[in-house]
Amino acid sequence: MPRFPDHGEDRGAANGFSRSQDALGNSRRDLNGRIDANNDRDSISDVDYDRLMEYPDDVDYYSLLGLSRTPPPTDADIRSAYRSLTLSFHPDKQPAHLREAAKQQFEKIREAYDTLIDPKKRTVYDLLGAEGVRREWSAGGAMGKGGVAEQQQVGVKALSPEEFRRWFLDTMKARERKVLDSLVQSKGSISLAIDATSMISADEEEDYVYIQLPTLRPSSYAIGYSFRTPLPSFKELWGKTDEGAESETDESEKDDDPSKQAIQSEVTFSASIGGKLQTPMREARFLYPDGTEEVKRVAMPLILVAQNMSLGASINHGFRNVASTKGLFGKLPLSFLEGADASITGLVLPFPTVEAVVAKAISPFPGTKPLIFTFRTGFFRSIFQSLPVIGLQVTRELDVGRTVYCSWSSGTLDWPTVIRELLEPIVDLGVPLDDVLSRPAQTSKVEIGYISAPRKSGAIEDEEDEDEDDIDAPATRKREVGAAESWQLQVDASPQGGGLSVVYGRNLFSHKGDEKLRSEWSTEGYHPISQNHDARPVRLEIQTTVGIDLSLGWHISGTRQVSDFTRMGLGVGLQGNKGLVVSVSWNRLGQKIKLPIAICPLPLVSAEIAALAVILPWATYCGVEFGFIRPRERKRRRLELAKRQRQLEKQIAKRRVESQQAIDLMSEQVLRRQAREEENGGLVITKAEYGYYPSRDKKKKGDAGESKVIDVTIPVAALVDHGQLIIPREVIKFQMIGFYDPAPLRPKKLKIWYRFGGKEHIVEAGDSEGITCPMRSHLISG
């Protein structure tokens, strides 16, 4: 019979406590060493920071019961694991001095069992974890009192696991959509131009340029606001779904296919006004006490001049699953709208206008990337006065993030003379002379462009297409993703002229770009947005335009995210007759404020002044970024690491005690089971260790060269069932009953020595490897 440590005796428990206390001290020194090493560097390792901040606090229910996530365990597997643990941890089966510890352990096991045996709770647990289960089953949650489940006409409890998963994902998507709509449902913008051209003046005689404190004067303004709301569906117009077609289609496939999901139409209301800010002057007569009079021009209150205004609404709709509907849209040629997106925009101010846009992707040949055709037509005047403006744009994606497009617009066209003369007795076609200047004419134009969007971090290229000899390819791709370079080139031509515009953008001062807000819920599951702990980058954009007369315009801007939803920016550029303009912007969830400040009139703009306007703000920001923001960020991260370190120390101490209590509770039961295995020549665990083993081929200094292991003989022996030991690969080993993590953030191994059929065996596995015993390959030769 194998010899096991007597954990039932006080001396054995004390020895186990001493070993665990030593391991805890090593873990604390390990954490302190890693953080102190990080503090000595200029920047803390992102890998260590992320691993430490994401270290799990909650116990994994699957690992607690010794079950694998994939394939999902059956109800029989869950009940078998629960009964096996109940034999060792039920409080009624323990002596009085261990009953309280057994009660605590049993409550954890019971909570894990109640969650995993319930298909609905297990679905939520797989998506959101234990905290998600408690939240959704509490008051206000989806399954709690007053939740969405109580408001359903059809009981959620009657749904199958697959149907409940789809229902829960739809519920979470609707909740997320509601929150997002409350944040971004409305958009507003305010622009206030300020005239500060008095800051720079020139002396033409002495050829000097003077810089002085300017007098700020508001010159123009622009205000815009829009909000969107769902548009009610009109079943009388669209028709009902064809029940026959629906019955032939698998319902689950329809629900899971995003292309067949109905897209709710939306209507957007918008209004804007803009113009100049003027201070009118008026002559006033002043009468002094000595009887003299004087006439002076005095400033009157500021007035708003509305030169541009708009008021209207637009309706957007996506045509999906049109072919299976009855009525008008189920027949040719309107069924061609399948997969198309359409919008109709109507303006009341400044003059009545209606514009319709239809976009549809068409693949000319099977297996090729589609061409996106966008057709638009606008009625800017009465149909009796001029023809509608027609436009067509063709877009094609060359590669991921790379697109070319070509667009054409007819502009305002008069009715042909032949048609006007032909219909003159019936209707008078053409624009009346007294109405020619009331509405601006649309000019015809042609545009050809190329867009290269930034590469996303989630885009993975085909490894087979990569050069195997290019070892720097992964690092190059990482730099490209972090830089997020983008290009946009456009050539346009019209009867009034043409030009070339080039826009270049990239991120500076960071290896990771800001991830755009996206939905965390989809029909496939929950995909939370990972937090970016790296320094926030500055988005640099350079725009240059060259006219057909070689006139040059340019604009350089930099924006930076200053909080979760807020960005601020600073730009410098040459804007037509306004001269040199410095603009300050603020943007938060669709709300924008922009302050363009004209600092130099166009005749005085020179290369030296433009360079000074660019270099001075840039140097100031670099000083703030590296002299204040970066040191403050490093200090904040050190404080967070120290706080997280203290939390882990307490957590390790608590789990060490729980581990020792679990070993004391299961020792007697495990020893009896191992004795039966020994008598039958079965699987007997003679020794098991878990922890960090330093690698032998590398010389490491300090704590990295010391092994940190704990004795897990009893916990591993408790997993032996009918002469077999199976530890799935997905199980988190340090969260199994009787285990704890002796070396956080270190790669650990589980080593097991066992006897089977009278022969000695040994096996070891890392944290991401599974173990199956007995196996012939584990046999110790000799």
Question: Which tokens sit at 481?
Answer: 């993703």
Nearest partner of 123 among 170, 174, 168, judged by Cα: 168
Provide the pLDDT for residue 704: 60
Provide the pLDDT for residue 257: 43
- CB-hemisphere CA count at 13 Å for 104? 12
Is pLDDT at 772 greater than 80 in this prediction? yes
Q: Using one digit for the tens of pLDDT, what is the confidence trace for 294-312?
A: 888 988 888 888 888 999 9
Is pLDDT at 500 greater than 90 in this prediction? yes
Provide the pLDDT for residue 698: 55
Phi-psi region of 745 (alpha: psi -120 to 50; beta: other; left: phi over 0): left
Global pTM reads: 0.71
Among 68-77, 546-555, 698-707, name the one with the lowest average pLDDT. Answer: 698-707
Q: Give me the residues paired with residue 591 across strands.
A: 188, 588
Q: Count CB atoms within 10 A of the CB of residue 772.
A: 13
Is pLDDT at 22 greater than 50 in this prediction? no
Is pLDDT at 130 greater than 60 in this prediction? yes
Bigger pLDDT: 701 or 400? Answer: 400
Mean pLDDT of 207-235: 83
Sort 527 into a burial class: Cβ within 10 Å, 0-12 / 13-18 / 19+: exposed
Bigger pLDDT: 604 or 182? Answer: 604
Contact 653, 93 (CB under 8 A): no
Mean pLDDT of 436-465: 74
Mean pLDDT of the chain: 81
Contact 68, 729 (CB under 8 A): yes
Helix (H), strand (E), coil (C) string for 235-258? HHHHCCECHHHHHHCCHHHHHHCH
Contact 754, 746 (CB under 8 A): no
Bigger pLDDT: 18 or 669? Answer: 669
Provide the pLDDT for residue 657: 92
Mean pLDDT of 575-604: 90
- One-character DSSP codes across 481-508: HHHT-EEEEEEEEETTEEEEEEEEEEEE
Question: How far, in Å, CA of 260 to CA of 701, rounded?
Answer: 60
pLDDT band at 465 (very low <50, low <70, confident <90, very high): very low
- One-character DSSP codes across 398-424: EETTEEEEEEEE---BPPPHHHHHHHT
Provide the pLDDT for residue 206: 62
pLDDT band at 515 (very low <50, low <70, confident <90, very high): low
What lies within 8 Å, CB to CB, of 89 at 6+ separation is 102, 105, 106, 109, 662, 665, 666
Report in angstroms the alpha-carbon separations of 258 from 14, 321, 679: 61, 11, 60
Helix (H), strand (E), coil (C) string for 653-687? HHHHHHHHHHHHHHHHHHHHHHHHHHHCCCEEEEE
pLDDT band at 264 (very low <50, low <70, confident <90, very high): low
Question: Which tokens sit at 128?
Answer: 């959101």
Contact 192, 216 (CB under 8 A): no
Mean pLDDT of 239-251: 44
What lies within 8 Å, CB to CB, of 577 at 6+ separation is 602
Secondary structure (3-state) at 720: coil
**Position 587: which residue type?**
N
Q: Count CB atoms within 10 A of the CB of residue 664.
A: 21
- One-character DSSP codes across 164-200: HHHHHHHHHHHHHHHHHHHHHSEEEEEEEEEE-GGGE
Report in angstroms the alpha-carbon separations of 719 from 61, 276, 714, 738: 16, 80, 9, 11
Give me the percent of the chain exceeding a pLDDT of 90: 36
Provide the pLDDT for residue 354: 95
What lies within 8 Å, CB to CB, of 777 at 6+ separation is none
Provide the pLDDT for residue 356: 95
Is pLDDT at 20 greater than 80 in this prediction? no
State residue 761 phi and psi, 5-degree precision: -135, 160
Question: Which tokens sit at 670?
Answer: 């495990």
Mean pLDDT of 76-98: 88
pLDDT band at 739 (very low <50, low <70, confident <90, very high): very high
Among 142-151, 413-422, 528-537, 712-721, the range with the most confident prediction by mean pLDDT is 712-721
Nearest partner of 743 among 105, 40, 22, judged by Cα: 22
- Give span(s): CATH 1.10.287.110, the chain: 52-182
Question: Which tokens sit at 76?
Answer: 């029989």
Give me the percent of the chain exceeding a pLDDT of 70: 80
Nearest partner of 577 among 555, 593, 556, 553, judged by Cα: 553
Is pLDDT at 255 greater than 70 in this prediction? no
Provide the pLDDT for residue 233: 64
In degrees, to the nearest 5, what angle opens at C-alpha 434 toward C-alphas 430 and 438?
A: 90
Contact 589, 183 (CB under 8 A): yes
Q: Using one digit for the tens of pLDDT, what is the confidence trace for 364-384?
A: 888 888 999 999 999 998 888
Helix (H), strand (E), coil (C) string for 577-602? HHCEEEEEEEEECCEEEEEEEEEECH
Contact 408, 467 (CB under 8 A): no
Among 168-177, 449-458, 512-521, name the one with the lowest average pLDDT. Answer: 512-521
Architecture of the CATH domain 52-182? Orthogonal Bundle (1.10)
